[in-house]
């Protein structure tokens, strides 16, 4: 390649850019640069799991994500020996609190037991009547009075005196049982504020984050954990898990992938340029992504108010597609011996049709209920529209004096690389059979972990936590009771609780305002004047017998006369089950035993019942339906569009041959090489339709035009390789979603291009 000539031509092009026609190009460059700077200065990619979830299971996933249990950060301290494990766990807790990374847990005051007792009247239920009656029988009063005397005369008696005087009948036990009901069915033990298993070598602290779970805060948390590990003795380790950890892993990995993949994509595009284009005039083709991608990103952000890192990673697809229009025009000019403006006119139907088919696939994607799919669709539609306008109306202005060049492929090669229609048909049949086999043997994974960035270290550490919580996950479920307001949600929660075999702990401990008033009334009705006098008489007899003063327990009876006088404790300081939802409503989160009876009652009551296994299965089924619907819509949209453009249903079906065979070949390769396909990769199939049908349209246009030089095979090869350079390079990405998209594109786009070059031409020739 004559680099001196290229330099001269580039300088000439730059001079023309300064002229009147070049002002438009200069303006585009300036606006795009401004958009790019604005985007990276003010926009931070946001990635959360719910943007990958179909609408049919999004409510369950949103509720599950926002539940108090999942909003916490898990700080795990493990040791090969139990020596000083508890002390080091407290050291970790104190350090993270001092650094402002976690909120200190609830620290009850010395008089908390008394506070808990005084909360009973507002949580008194009909089911509590019998336990209280049992405590004020003659035998029970005698036993409790004797126990109280022994406690008050012990060493800690000075501390216990206020509680014993306020609770002579041990009613506090009723409140402690209500608190204990919050514990899930599990083999976990509590050890001085930490969860632990029977082995005792793992302590788990559950904490509320002091700051929102964003990437910068995740980095600070990770740095603090590193510093703590440096201070711990050998054989002991601390790590953290939860949504914050996944935020750190996902965002950092996507940022790494964007830099690495972008660089590799540029290198691959340079190679395609050096091998096939080799003209300074063609440099502007590969400048198109730099012009359109920032605009597409800002437009997407304006529509959704945020943009996913996955959407930005998908920008490489748009980069590959956006250069196709310029490539087709470039080769039509240099091979067709036509002026740029005339070549653009002759290619207008072809380029317009490829734009239409690609856009319709993204329209089908936009109709999805998965938010990240909708973001990708808007991103692609904006980018492709900009690329189309530039290719048809701006590039011809700069290619007016583009000289023709000698064809790079022989006439025989341009005619067809595979002459026999019979051989083409047999090869198609083999690929179809390969695809059918692959469809039934491809392994699909419904595990959300396959859509999250998970380093080997994270997987290893997560296995430790899984060992701790496996039983809790299988034995328990979530019930979410919704309401338009917090009060309504709490009232609905109380109504559901009455129908369950075991009352909901949240309904007992955190009642609504109406519930508090109703329970206080029941408490007062229970403690009638006659019952108070009987209990007081029994207590005085027992008290005098063991040595108590007759007036020792007056504080209790004064409280019975006026229970509202005591300060009201807000139990949401310990545990707040109410979550705010995106639609402005609220939900109360309940952790319940996972039994058929509870599930049936919850279903009949029209509340959301969620278990981890059912959520995974629902996600798999929803994603399959979503993909099938998108693929069907994309197929119908494109079939109608190509039929209208070519005025022939038969030709439209012929244009789909590269798509169909490419999909078959892709599934066959997935099964042959035992690739575990994550749910997100299924969306590539509808997109492959938009990518592959372009090559079929190219060959259809070539078979119909009298000037075949407008459609040299090298143009199709250059377009396909450019798409692979922009899209296929995602195969080197470490993020599982981006990697799977790159893997599917390498197989799918590559096979669609080869089918268009090898198999489709003889079939088209036979059908003429």
Q: What CATH number is attached to the domain comprising 13? A: 1.20.1640.10
Angle between helical axes of 684-704 and 657-672 (0-180°, round to 10) = 140
Of 520, 545, 573, the one marking the end of a domain is 573
Tell me the mean pLDDT in the region 397-417.
54
pLDDT-based confidence at residue 428 (cuts at 50, 70, 90): very high
Last residue in a domain, options 354, 380, 404: 404
Q: Is the pLDDT of residue 491 over 90?
A: yes
Range ranked top by mean pLDDT from 35-39, 52-56, 60-64, 260-264: 260-264
Whether 109 and 115 have beta carbons less than 8 Å apart is answered as yes
Highest mean pLDDT among 199-213, 348-362, 438-452: 348-362
Same structural domain, 190 and 177? no
Distance CA 183, CA 591 (A): 8
pLDDT of the residue at 685: 72
Q: In terms of domains, do 399 and 523 share one? A: no
Q: Return the pLDDT at 649.
A: 92
Cα 287 to Cα 264: distance, rounded to the nearest angstrom: 16
pLDDT category of residue 661 using cuts at 50, 70 and 90: very high
pLDDT at 622: 78
Q: Residue 243 burial by CB count (10 A; 0-12/13-18/19+): exposed, middle or buried?
A: middle
Question: Average pLDDT of 619-631?
Answer: 78
Please list the alpha-helical segments (H only) found in 84-214: 85-98, 112-118, 129-135, 138-152, 157-166, 172-180
pLDDT at 403: 58
What is the side-by-side strand order in the sheet with 476-483?
A: 578-580, 586-593, 476-483, 608-610
104 compared with 94, residue with greater pLDDT = 94
Q: Tell whether 100 and 241 lie within a shared domain.
A: yes
Kindly state whether residue 30 falls inside one of the protein's structural domains.
yes
pLDDT digits (tens, 9 = 90+) for 76-91: 888 877 567 888 888 9
| CA dihedral sign of residues 418, 420, 425, 430 | negative
Is there a single domain that holds both residue 168 and residue 233?
A: no
User: Does the residue 400 lie in any domain?
Assistant: yes
Q: How far apart are CA 276 and CA 254, in angstroms?
A: 32
Taking alpha carbons only, the member of 611, 325, 292 closest to residue 478 is 611
Which of 275-289, 622-636, 751-765 is most confident? 751-765
Inside any domain, residue 622: no
Give the end of a domain, one of 546, 573, 600. 573
Average pLDDT value over all residues in the chain: 80
pLDDT-wise least confident of 7-16, 162-171, 322-331, 361-370: 7-16
Distance, CA of 86 to CA of 201 (rounded, Å)? 10
The confidence score (pLDDT) of residue 18 equals 46
Q: What does the pLDDT read at residue 486?
A: 92
pLDDT in tens, 196-206: 765 667 888 87
Residue 698 maps to a domain: no
Q: Which residue has the higher pLDDT, 41 or 332?
A: 332
Q: What is the pLDDT of residue 434?
A: 96
**pLDDT bucket at 739, cuts 50 / 70 / 90:** confident
Q: Are 652 and 642 in contact (CB under 8 A)?
A: yes
Could you tell me if residue 52 is inside a domain?
Answer: no
Task: Write out pLDDT tens, residues 460-476.
Answer: 777 766 666 666 666 77
In this structure, are 388 and 494 located in the same domain?
no
286 and 374 in one domain? yes
Give residue 198's domain range: 73-106+186-246
Mean pLDDT of 698-707: 82
* pLDDT at 71 > cutoff 90: no
Q: What is the pLDDT of residue 753?
A: 92
- Does residue 257 fall inside a structural domain? no
Pair (345, 368) in one structural domain: yes
Chain-centroid distance of CA 78 in Å reads: 29
pLDDT, one tens digit per residue, over 122-150 is 999 888 999 999 999 999 989 998 888 88
Distance CA 180, CA 173 (A): 10
Contact 201, 191 (CB under 8 A): no
Quote the CA–CA distance of 708 and 560 in Å, as a whole number.
Answer: 99
Instruction: Report how far apart, in Å, the C-alpha atoms of 411 and of each of 97, 408, 697, 702, 709 are.
Output: 75, 10, 21, 14, 10
Looking at the fold, whether 174 and 192 belong to one and the same domain comes out as: no
pLDDT tens digits, 560-591:
888 887 667 778 777 788 888 878 889 888 88
């Amino acid at each position: 390649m004559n680099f001196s000539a290229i330099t001269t031509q580039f300088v000439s092009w730059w001079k023309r850019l300064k002229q009147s026609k070049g002002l438009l190009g200069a303006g585009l460059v300036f606006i795009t640069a401004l958009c790019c700077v604005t985007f990276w200065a003010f926009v931070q990619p946001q990635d959360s799991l719910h943007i990958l979830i179909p609408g049919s299971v999004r409510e369950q996933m949103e509720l599950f994500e926002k539940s108090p249990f999942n909003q916490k950060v898990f700080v795990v301290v493990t040791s090969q020996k139990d020596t000083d494990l508890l002390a080091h766990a407290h050291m970790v807790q104190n350090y993270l609190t001092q650094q402002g990374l976690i909120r200190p847990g609830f620290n009850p005051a010395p008089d908390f037991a008394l506070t808990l007792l005084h909360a009973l009247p507002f949580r008194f239920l009909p089911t509590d009547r019998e336990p209280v009656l049992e405590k004020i029988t003659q035998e029970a009063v005698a036993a409790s009075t004797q126990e109280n005397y022994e406690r008050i005369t012990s060493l800690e008696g000075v501390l216990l005196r206020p509680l014993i005087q306020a609770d002579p009948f041990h009613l506090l036990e009723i409140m402690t049982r209500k608190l204990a009901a919050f514990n899930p069915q599990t083999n976990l033990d509590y050890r001085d504020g930490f969860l632990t298993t029977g082995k005792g070598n793992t302590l788990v602290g559950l904490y509320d984050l002091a700051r929102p779970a964003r990437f910068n805060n995740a980095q600070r948390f990770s740095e603090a954990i590193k510093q703590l590990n440096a201070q711990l003795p050998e054989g002991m380790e601390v790590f953290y898990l939860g949504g914050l950890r996944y935020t750190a892993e996902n965002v950092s990995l996507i940022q790494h992938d964007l830099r690495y993949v972008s660089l590799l994509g540029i290198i691959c595009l340079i190679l395609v340029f050096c091998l096939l284009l080799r003209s300074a005039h063609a440099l502007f083709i590969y400048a198109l992504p730099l012009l359109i991608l920032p605009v597409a990103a800002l437009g997407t952000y304006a529509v959704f108010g945020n943009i996913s890192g996955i959407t930005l990673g998908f920008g490489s697809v748009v980069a590959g597609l956006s250069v196709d229009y310029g490539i087709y025009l470039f080769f039509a000019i240099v091979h067709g011996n036509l002026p740029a403006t005339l070549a653009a006119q002759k290619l207008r139907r072809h380029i317009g049709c490829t734009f239409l088919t690609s856009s319709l696939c993204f329209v089908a994607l936009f109709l999805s209920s998965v938010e990240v799919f909708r973001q990708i669709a808007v991103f692609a539609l904006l980018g492709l529209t900009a690329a189309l306008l530039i290719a048809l109306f701006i590039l011809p202005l700069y290619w007016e004096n583009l000289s023709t060049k000698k064809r790079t492929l022989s006439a025989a090669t341009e005619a067809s690389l595979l002459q026999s229609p019979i051989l083409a048909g047999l090869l198609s049949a083999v690929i179809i059979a390969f695809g059918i086999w692959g469809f039934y043997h491809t392994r699909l994974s419904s595990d959300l972990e396959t859509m999250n960035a998970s380093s080997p270290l994270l997987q290893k550490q997560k296995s430790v936590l899984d060992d701790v919580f496996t039983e809790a996950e299988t034995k328990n479920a979530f019930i979410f009771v919704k309401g338009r307001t917090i009060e309504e949600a709490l009232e609905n929660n109380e109504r559901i609780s009455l129908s369950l075999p075991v009352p909901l702990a949240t309904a007992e401990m955190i009642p609504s305002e109406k519930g508090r008033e109703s329970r206080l009334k029941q408490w007062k009705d229970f403690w009638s004047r006659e019952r108070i006098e009987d209990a007081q008489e029994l207590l005085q007899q027992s008290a005098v017998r063991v040595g108590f003063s007759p007036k020792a327990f007056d504080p209790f009876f004064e409280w019975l006369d006026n229970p509202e006088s005591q300060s009201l404790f807000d139990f949401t300081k310990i545990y707040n089950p109410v979550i705010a939802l995106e639609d402005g409503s609220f939900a109360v989160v309940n952790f319940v035993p996972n039994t058929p009876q509870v599930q049936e009652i919850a279903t009949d009551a029209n509340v959301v019942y969620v278990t981890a296994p059912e959520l995974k299965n629902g996600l798999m089924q929803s994603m399959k339906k979503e993909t099938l619907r998108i693929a069907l819509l994309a197929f119908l949209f494109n079939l109608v569009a190509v039929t209208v453009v070519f005025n022939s249903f038969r030709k439209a079906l012929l244009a789909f041959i590269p798509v169909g065979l490419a999909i078959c070949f892709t599934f066959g390769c997935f099964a042959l090489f035992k690739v575990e396909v994550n749910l997100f990769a299924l969306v590539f199939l509808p997109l492959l339709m938009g990518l592959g049908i372009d090559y079929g349209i190219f060959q259809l246009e070539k078979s119909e035009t009298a000037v075949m030089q407008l459609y040299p095979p090298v143009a199709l090869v250059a377009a396909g390789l450019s798409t692979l350079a922009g899209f296929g390079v995602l195969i080197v990405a470490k993020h599982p979603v981006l990697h799977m998209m790159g893997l599917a594109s390498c197989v799918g786009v590559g096979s669609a291009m080869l089918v268009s070059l090898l198999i489709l031409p003889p079939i088209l020739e036979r059908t003429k």
